[in-house]
């Protein structure tokens, strides 16, 4: 869970905020272009000499500019989203591999510890001849001395 939270925070800081900042900057640029197109249209209307043909031409040009800008913005947003998704998938794969490696390492460490404990117990039991009750007492003492909190199993 911690890895997922850290991954979410990292992705938010590294991907979401820069993409959002980029989208805002792009929207401001588009708005400036729209404002510029509107200013040109107003100048044409005020001039009066150019007449209706210039006004229609400026409107068509502004619409084409707006359409191109919107299309470019949509393409940039899609590309940024795809890139962010690819990066997120890559980081998830890396995190999964790290978790799998940590599990393998922990399993190997536990196996080594269990083997060492079993060998130590066997050495202790083999060092003297004991009755069944003495053997069980030695096993109980060994596991409690080893720091295990679990109740040792009783031999049947």
Under 8 Å between Cβ of 107 and 67: no
pLDDT of residue 51: 64
For residue 35, being part of any structural domain is answered with: yes
| Least confident window among 58-62, 112-116, 145-149 | 145-149
Tokens representing 14?
């590294």
Note down the domain range covering 75: 2-105
Read off the pLDDT of residues 7-59 as tens digits, 9 standing for 90 and up.
Answer: 888 887 777 877 888 889 988 989 999 999 888 878 866 776 656 666 577 78
Read off the pLDDT of residues 67-106 as tens digits, 9 standing for 90 and up.
Answer: 888 888 888 888 888 888 888 899 889 988 999 999 999 9
The separation between CA 116 and the C-alpha centre of its own chain, rounded to angstroms, equals 39
| C-alpha–C-alpha distance, residues 146 and 108, integer Å | 19
User: Does residue 149 register a pLDDT over 60?
Assistant: no
Q: Say how many domains are in the chain.
A: 1
For residue 11, being part of any structural domain is answered with: yes
For residue 63, being part of any structural domain is answered with: yes
Under 8 Å between Cβ of 142 and 120: yes
For residue 28, being part of any structural domain is answered with: yes
For residue 119, being part of any structural domain is answered with: no
For residue 19, being part of any structural domain is answered with: yes
| C-alpha–C-alpha distance, residues 101 and 65, integer Å | 53
Phi, psi dihedral angles at 145 (to 5 degrees)? -70, -30
For residue 97, being part of any structural domain is answered with: yes
pLDDT of residue 146: 63
For residue 132, being part of any structural domain is answered with: no
Under 8 Å between Cβ of 92 and 7: yes
Q: Which residue has the higher pLDDT, 156 or 14?
A: 14
pLDDT of residue 156: 42
SS (HEC) of 11-64: HHHHHHHHHHHHHHHHHHHHHHHHHHHHHHHHHHHHHCCCHHHHHHHHHHHHHH
* Percent with pLDDT over 90 in the chain: 12
The closest alpha carbon to 8, from 76, 84, 100, belongs to 84
Q: Which residue has the higher pLDDT, 123 or 39?
A: 39
User: Does residue 139 register a pLDDT over 80?
Assistant: no
Q: Which residue has the higher pLDDT, 107 or 122?
A: 107
Reported confidence tier of residue 152, pLDDT bands at 50, 70, 90: very low
User: Does residue 155 register a pLDDT over 60?
Assistant: no
């Amino acid at each position: 869970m911690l890895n997922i939270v850290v991954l979410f925070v990292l992705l938010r800081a590294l991907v979401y905020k820069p993409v959002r900042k980029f989208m805002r900057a792009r929207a401001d640029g588009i708005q400036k272009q729209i404002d510029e197109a509107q200013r040109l249209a107003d100048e044409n209307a005020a001039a009066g000499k150019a007449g209706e043909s210039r006004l229609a031409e400026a409107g068509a040009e502004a619409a084409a500019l707006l359409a191109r800008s919107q299309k470019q913005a949509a393409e940039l947003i899609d590309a940024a989203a795809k890139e962010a998704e690819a990066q997120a998938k890559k980081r998830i794969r890396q995190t999964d591999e790290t978790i799998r490696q940590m599990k393998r390492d922990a399993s190997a460490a536990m196996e080594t510890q269990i083997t060492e404990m079993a060998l130590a117990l066997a050495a202790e039991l083999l060092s003297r001849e004991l009755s069944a009750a003495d053997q069980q007492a030695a096993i109980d003492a060994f596991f409690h001395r080893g720091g295990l909190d679990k109740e040792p199993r009783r031999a049947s």
